[in-house]
């Protein structure tokens, strides 16, 4: 199935004409997950011709405005445009208060159900799971409580080795069990082992989102072997001190994390508004990790 990441906003604290504040839409097995929702995210959906009514789950990393100030407006527009189905909203303590304070005061009437799932401090674990995908959360190292997220496909089903299966002579009604990995014995007493008539499915893929965060190896167990890693790179080496002071990372630090985590590809983002382009970020990161890309608003990554 499709597994796509749409970058809706790739800038840091202050939105510019070039870069909106943080928001990523992940479409995976027809589940649509929004990670973060800076001011103007609903406009970015329109700009890139995506449909915000299709969002199933919103994951918020932390309560800085550039990651969350677009949420009340997005929810309001969803309601005004007739949404009735529930929306799950996952994030740190205070998120429900922040949103409810806005929606209460601005006096909306009946709202579609908002199912807040508030994560305890330092939470590590699964925050959503169904038969196709799983979302895990883990702490990042920022100035306030901040979570990273990893979205994982569940292991794809095994596929039938048609020739090997046909040779067994058992009924096709056993195929379902065999591709689930079960061995079977048919009515004639014939044993067929799943491993002998099926081949492994495509490897399950995953995407990890790490922003905002200072450089920290504590995240490595949670992002190991990820197919696509988004890691913030607010600064270049020149501002490494400022990165440390403000709980942010440099491009080289992001690349170092990607290398250590054995990520397949790295996307840098959350660039400070002081930079006109991301050439310096890319140069510094490429010296450490070659498969690196710079996020731009509207970019799409296929996994």
Rounded distance between C-alpha atoms, residue 22 and residue 43, angstroms: 13
Positions in 102-141 near a second copy (CB under 8 A): 102, 105-107
Among 1, 30, 46, 202, which residue sits at the site for a second copy (rule: CB under 8 A)? 46
Rounded distance between C-alpha atoms, residue 220 and residue 200, angstroms: 27
Closest separation between CB of residue 81 and a second copy, Å?
Answer: 7
What are the strands, taking DSSP E only, across 130-232? Answer: 133-139, 147-153, 159-160, 184-185, 191-192, 198-199, 206-210, 228-232
Q: What angle do CA 35, 36, 42 make, to 5 degrees?
A: 100
Closest separation between CB of residue 281 and a second copy, Å?
Answer: 20
Starting at the edge strand found earlier in the chain, the sheet holding 114-119 runs: 114-119, 87-92, 57-59, 31-35, 23-28, 3-9, 300-302
Among 56, 73, 204, 283, which residue sits at the site for a second copy (rule: CB under 8 A)? 73
Beta carbons of 114 and 74 less than 8 angstroms apart: no
Among 30, 53, 54, 97, which residue sits at the site for a second copy (rule: CB under 8 A)? 97
- CB closer to a second copy, 39 vs 278: 39
Among 1, 16, 115, 129, which residue sits at the site for a second copy (rule: CB under 8 A)? 16
Residue 66 known to be catalytic: yes
**Choices 66-74, 123-131, 167-175, 184-192; region in contact with a second copy by CB under 8 A:** 66-74
Rounded distance between C-alpha atoms, residue 190 and residue 257, angstroms: 51
Residue in 36, 66, 227, 297 annotated catalytic: 66
Q: Which residues bind a second copy (CB under 8 A)?
A: 13-17, 20, 39-40, 42-43, 46-47, 63-66, 68-70, 72-73, 76-77, 80-81, 94, 97-98, 101-102, 105-107, 143-144
Which residues are part of the catalytic machinery?
66
């Amino acid at each position: 199935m499709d597994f796509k990441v749409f970058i809706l906003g790739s800038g840091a604290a202050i939105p510019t004409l070039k870069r909106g504040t943080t928001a990523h839409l992940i479409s995976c097995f027809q589940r649509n997950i929004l990670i973060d929702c800076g001011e103007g995210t609903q406009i970015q959906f329109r700009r890139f011709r995506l449909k915000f009514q299709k969002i199933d789950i919103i994951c918020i990393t932390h309560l800085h405005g550039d990651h969350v100030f677009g949420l009340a407006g997005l929810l309001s527009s969803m309601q005004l445009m007739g949404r009735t189905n529930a929306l799950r909203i996952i994030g740190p303590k205070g998120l429900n208060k922040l949103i409810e304070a806005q929606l209460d005061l601005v006096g909306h009437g009946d709202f579609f159900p908002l199912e807040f799932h508030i994560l305890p401090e330092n939470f590590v674990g699964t925050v959503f799971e169904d038969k196709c995908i799983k979302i895990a959360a883990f702490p990042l190292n920022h100035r306030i409580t901040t979570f990273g997220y990893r979205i994982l496909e569940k292991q794809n089903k095994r596929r039938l080795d048609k020739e090997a299966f046909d040779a067994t002579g058992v009924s096709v009604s056993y195929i379902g069990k065999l591709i689930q990995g079960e061995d079977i014995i048919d009515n004639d007493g014939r044993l067929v082992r799943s491993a002998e008539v099926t081949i492994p499915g495509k490897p399950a893929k995953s995407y990890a989102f790490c922003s905002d965060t200072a450089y920290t190896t504590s995240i490595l167990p949670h992002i190991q072997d990820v197919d696509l890693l988004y890691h913030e790179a607010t600064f270049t080496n020149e501002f490494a001190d400022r990165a440390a002071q403000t709980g942010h990372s440099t491009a080289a630090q992001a690349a170092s994390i990607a290398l250590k985590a054995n990520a397949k590809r790295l996307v840098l983002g959350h660039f400070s508004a002081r930079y006109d382009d991301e050439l310096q970020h890319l140069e510094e990161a490429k010296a450490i990790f070659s498969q690196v890309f710079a996020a731009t608003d509207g970019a799409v990554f296929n996994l």
